[in-house]
Amino acid sequence: MVSVAGGSQDDSSPQDPSHPLKNMIGKSRWKLLAMLVLVLIVMVWYSISREDRYIELFYFPIPEKREPCLQGEAERKASQIFGNYTRNQPIFLQLKDFFWVKTPSAYELPYGIKGSEDLLLRVLAITSHTMPESIQSLKCRRCVVVGNGHRLRNSSLGEAINKYDVVIRLNNAPVAGYEGDVGSKTTMRLFYPESAHFDPKVENNPDTLLVLVAFKAMDFHWIETILSDKKRVRKGFWKQPPLIWDVNPKQIRILNPFYMEIAADRLLSLSLQQSRKSKQKPTTGLLAITLALHFCDVVHIAGFGYPDAYKKKQTIHYYEQITLKSMAGSGHNVSQEALAIKRMLETGVVKNLTYF
């Protein structure tokens, strides 16, 4: 007779023959689940390790502490990219180098000064060529080239950028209002007449060097009229440059065309003797990286890279809404430049503060 005093039959009674089988099935399920978890952990670890290797090539996280500066680091690695690498060329042109010149320039602007000597002499007579002693005397120069790309938008890199010894900016890229992402320090700003639509006293520091990149003889003529207050030039430009530019002549420097030549020849394999109609040239950004690799010991970049071709509505700059379509007819091969920068990242000659 079965007792019902407890309200139910004892669950552990041997009268249930399926009970051991249920226990075995339950244990198997737990083992299977544990194995799946283990496999998932291994997969995640493997994915992260691969991602770390990718990041090591194309992204350089900002360290909490100032990293050591190894003197000659960029110089040692740059020879892998530039071949016959030399640091004997001056950064800026100076007047004394053009008296009694025995070897005339082999190329016209932007790769040389052939045919523009008279204009250049007049410009060098009213500008300077020195590098600030605070930069020139550094035993080890840590530099960052700040591009204009949309990757800087909401990057919060401003504080990190300001910590570099030398901050190089490009063209009319604004600082005011974007300090949190791009910083506020500017050591050098490379520009050409058509890109000079910025207020030098608002977008730069009082000691910023404004470095003219001359693409044609009219660029020398333009800067001369601005600094000497002569009759302005209105023709010969693809876009009207400013006619009034409130700038201190002591801040103006003329970039040595040697660096444009090296960027075109060694990085992009461009012919230095091209017809005027089909003339290709490096961007100011690639030129700035080339300059930095011939002057600095550590070179980092930020804000470089264009959107993929299929992203037709993606803006290319952090500060304006223009798209890749605006590059048509510019004479710049952005795909070829992307490959050149990728090579530099892979060899470690430069490191990236943003993704590429």
Average pLDDT, the chain: 85
- Range in 64-68, 197-201, 272-276 with the lowest mean pLDDT: 64-68
How do the domains of the chain map onto residue ranges? 56-352
DSSP-assigned states of every residue in 193-244: GGG--S-HHHHS-TT-EEEE--SSHHHHHHHHHHHHT-PPP-SS-SSPPPS-
pLDDT-derived band at 93, boundaries 50, 70, 90: very high
Model confidence band, residue 99 (pLDDT cutoffs 50, 70, 90) = confident
Indicate the range of 14-23, 67-76, 173-182 predicted with least confidence. 14-23
Does domain 56-352 fall under CATH 3.20.20.190? My reply is no
Instruction: Specify the range with the lowest mean pLDDT, choosing from 31-35, 142-146, 302-306.
Output: 31-35
pLDDT value at 291 more than 80: yes
Q: pLDDT grade, residue 84 (50/70/90)?
A: confident
pLDDT tens readout for residues 116-156? 999 999 999 999 999 999 999 999 999 999 999 999 999 99
Q: Give the range among 70-79, 202-211, 223-232, 292-301 with minimum mean pLDDT.
A: 70-79
The mean pLDDT value for 253-275 works out to: 92
**Which pTM does this prediction carry?**
0.81
Tokens of 304: 């470089």
Res 82 pLDDT > 70: yes
Contact 354, 59 (CB under 8 A): yes
> What pLDDT is attached to residue 225?
97
Report the residue count for the chain.
356
